[in-house]
Structure 1
Amino acid sequence: MEQRTLSDGGAGLGVSTLCLGTMYFGTTVDEQRAFAVLDRFIEAGGTFIDTANTYSFWVPGGTGVESEALLGRWLASRRVRDRVVLATKVGALPDPPGAAWPEHAEGLSHDVVRTQAVASMRRLGTDHLDVYYAHIEDRRTSLDDTVATFASLVTDGLVRVTGCSNHAAWRLATARQIARAAGLPGFTCVQQRHTYLRPRPGAEFGSNPHISAELLDYAREEPDLTVLGYSVLLSGAYTRPDRPLPEQYDHPDSHRRLAVLADVAKELGATPNQVVLAWLLRSDPPVLPVLGVSSVSQLDECLGALELELDDELQRRLDDAA
């Protein structure tokens, strides 16, 4: 699988172009199926694996430790830690457990970030995290403090690359300016909700917003910033008639774009899912998809996107559909 480089202030950290998300591993995706997907991903050349200390607290019986704990068992049984780039997140876990969310998210204070980093490493069975994200915004903690705390994890050798998820473009830009002014390692990854369809104007996503035009514009001007997208396949809505479009995307613009997507997929002999993934990878700026799959067959379909050749004309047709 082709590799991309995440900036870490040095030679960079190589990752696979597709990132495997593990949100439901250990809860709705049982261990046997999760291990099979992980094994296939590694076999296909994948290296980049994404989790969080919250996955999946909202599932009945879930507490948030399930995904990291499962990954730790898989890494120990397969002995592939040196072949894997591990990304996890902090800041969104309800505190106390069961409290209203996101009003009572744990936040990004120094104590929370440092304590949870150690807890994540323990569950994952590793002595360092490759990528560590501020999961959602915490307006109670100053950006200066957040930047300093994440930077301290890098300088202490506990984390290689830091990033943020679900942050406004101005918050990301300000955090990076603070780091530069202080000579500290700053956020070089941003993970945001993103897909081929555009949400209707005014659509609400709560604490998990769709990527903004401002953030994409900012990323184009920042060569050391890598953009990742989650929920890229809309939980199967592109290909499964039993999965309607999320209401935020169900508007006339989407139906026009879906028609163009279907035409391009037919011309290429591909599935709409594969075209969406190829479009993201070829976009400006390029977006690394975080795959949310629950079976080997779903993963294999996604891997097929790497074989697609979107030329300039096809990319333009997809971009300009409206």
Structure 2
Amino acid sequence: MRYLRLAGGGGPEVSALCLGILPFGSTVDEETSLAVLDRFAEAGGTFVDTANNYSIWAPGGTGDESEELLGRWMRSRGRRDSTVVATKVGARPDPARGAEWPANWEGLGADTVRAGIEGSLRRLGTDRVDLYYAHIEDATVPMEETVGAFAGLVEEGTVGILGCSNHASWAVAAARQYAADRGLARYACVQQRYTYLQPRPGAGFGTQGPRGYAGTDLLDYIGTQEDMTLLAYGSLIHGAYTRADKRVLEQYDHPGTERRLRVLREVARETGATANQVVLAWLIGARKPAIPVLGVSSVAQLEEALGAVDLELDDGLRAKLDAA
């Protein structure tokens, strides 16, 4: 396993791959979920990502399932001290806002942020979250209120470092500047949908909308900020790079996609790797590395992803991929 420090060295050391456990404890059963976590830890994986609403869309889901499963795993294996835990607040259902999700998202008001961390700590069985994300942009709450609430959690020691997910690049920059001007803890990690394929301009991704993808504006901004880390979710596009039964998402349906897929397959043949492994290696080996948040549902899928850690793409192969 490779390791790096979040937030340009200011955050905790984490594995170069992050295990996303969105479906664990719901659509991925407990036995399989625990087996994947065990294998990830055995391989040197230390970074696990969840949220306080995973997975409310599953049959009977409440949003507690993923955090609770991670808490049970850490307690039963004695892994809390060796696990860097990331979770999120903002997209859990709020019954006071109606019965339909996502219209009833809880949002990012100060009281919600406070209640969110208290609930997450209880479900995870810990007194501290290493990385806490604002899950999705909330235009109904003043940015100043949200930034102040998150910074307060860092000041009291309940949270290590801060991040945001599914935010427009300008909103990330504005929140960081506001915090910096006042000496407050600021977002140091951004978790956004990002992969080798590029979506059509303006393409939306369901509830995340166009802001759910890391576009060139966000990538350029992060590239200029030494204290920022990009975490990439959706990097394997639900298996579509390698599985014949999976179609590429319609958001990537444009002429440039076939060209990039062709080059990706050529590089995979040249390296003897799978297309998935090449995509992951392309992310973690970038000039400013991105950390893939793996969406796997079996030990076999995890094993394939782990093979990307030792895959080195030389300058020629990387240039070939980037130019496609």
> By the TM > 0.5 criterion, same fold?
yes
| CA RMSD in angstroms, aligned pairs only | 1.3
State whether residues 136 and 207 of structure 1, in contact with CA within 8 Å, keep that contact through their aligned partners in structure 2.
no
In the alignment, which residue of structure 2 is the partner of 1:36? 35
Which amino acid in 2 is paired with 1:39?
Answer: D
In the alignment, which residue of structure 2 is the partner of 1:128? 128
- 2:224 and 2:28 map into 1 onto residues whose CA distance is 39
State whether residues 133 and 162 of structure 2, in contact with CA within 8 Å, keep that contact through their aligned partners in structure 1.
yes
State whether residues 10 and 227 of structure 2, in contact with CA within 8 Å, keep that contact through their aligned partners in structure 1.
no
In the alignment, which residue of structure 2 is the partner of 1:141? 141
5+ residue gaps, structure 1, are: none
- 2:28 and 2:242 map into 1 onto residues whose CA distance is 21
In the alignment, which residue of structure 1 is the partner of 2:297? 294
1:64-108 superposed Cα distances (whole Å, 9 cap, x missing partner): 110001111111110110000000000011211873333321001
5+ residue gaps, structure 2, are: none
- 1:7 and 1:195 map into 2 onto residues whose CA distance is 21
In the alignment, which residue of structure 1 is the partner of 2:322? 319
In the alignment, which residue of structure 1 is the partner of 2:270? 267
- 1:15 and 1:204 map into 2 onto residues whose CA distance is 31
- 1:212 and 1:306 map into 2 onto residues whose CA distance is 25
Structure 1 residue 204: Cα displacement: 1.6
Three-state SS of the structure 2 residue aligned to 1:60 is coil
Which amino acid in 2 is paired with 1:293?
Answer: V
- 1:311 and 1:207 map into 2 onto residues whose CA distance is 37
1:270-316 superposed Cα distances (whole Å, 9 cap, x missing partner): 00000000001122432100000011110010000011110011001
State whether residues 285 and 312 of structure 2, in contact with CA within 8 Å, keep that contact through their aligned partners in structure 1.
no
- 1:70 and 1:226 map into 2 onto residues whose CA distance is 26
Q: Residues 250-265 of structure 1 correspond to what in structure 2 (within 5 A)?
A: 250-265=253-268
Return the match for 1:307 from 288, 307, 310: 310
TM-score (structure 1 length as normaliser): 0.97
In the alignment, which residue of structure 2 is the partner of 1:88? 87
Three-state SS of the structure 2 residue aligned to 1:305 is coil
State whether residues 22 and 49 of structure 1, in contact with CA within 8 Å, keep that contact through their aligned partners in structure 2.
yes
State whether residues 293 and 299 of structure 1, in contact with CA within 8 Å, keep that contact through their aligned partners in structure 2.
yes
Q: Residues 4-43 of structure 1 correspond to what in structure 2 (within 5 A)?
A: 4-7=4-7, 11-43=10-42
TM-score (structure 2 length as normaliser): 0.96
State whether residues 74 and 80 of structure 2, in contact with CA within 8 Å, keep that contact through their aligned partners in structure 1.
yes
Q: Residues 1-322 of structure 1 correspond to what in structure 2 (within 5 A)?
A: 1-7=1-7, 11-96=10-95, 99-208=99-208, 209-321=212-324
- 1:157 and 1:193 map into 2 onto residues whose CA distance is 29
State whether residues 11 and 161 of structure 2, in contact with CA within 8 Å, keep that contact through their aligned partners in structure 1.
no
- 1:318 and 1:16 map into 2 onto residues whose CA distance is 24
State whether residues 189 and 228 of structure 1, in contact with CA within 8 Å, keep that contact through their aligned partners in structure 2.
yes
State whether residues 6 and 226 of structure 1, in contact with CA within 8 Å, keep that contact through their aligned partners in structure 2.
yes
- 1:283 and 1:215 map into 2 onto residues whose CA distance is 15
- 1:317 and 1:59 map into 2 onto residues whose CA distance is 40
- 1:168 and 1:283 map into 2 onto residues whose CA distance is 22
- 2:103 and 2:124 map into 1 onto residues whose CA distance is 28
Runs of 4+ displaced beyond 3 Å: none
Greater shift in the superposed pair: 280-289 or 83-92: 280-289
Three-state SS of the structure 2 residue aligned to 1:152 is helix
1:144-179 superposed Cα distances (whole Å, 9 cap, x missing partner): 111110000000000001100000000000000011
Task: State the aligned residue count.
Answer: 320
- 2:135 and 2:50 map into 1 onto residues whose CA distance is 11
- 1:255 and 1:61 map into 2 onto residues whose CA distance is 39
Greater shift in the superposed pair: 202-211 or 172-181: 202-211
- CA, structure 1 residues 64+253, in 2 after alignment: closer, same or farther (shift >3 Å)? same
Percent identity reads 59
State whether residues 278 and 310 of structure 1, in contact with CA within 8 Å, keep that contact through their aligned partners in structure 2.
yes
1:116-167 superposed Cα distances (whole Å, 9 cap, x missing partner): 1011010000000000000001111111111110000000000001100000
- 2:287 and 2:192 map into 1 onto residues whose CA distance is 15
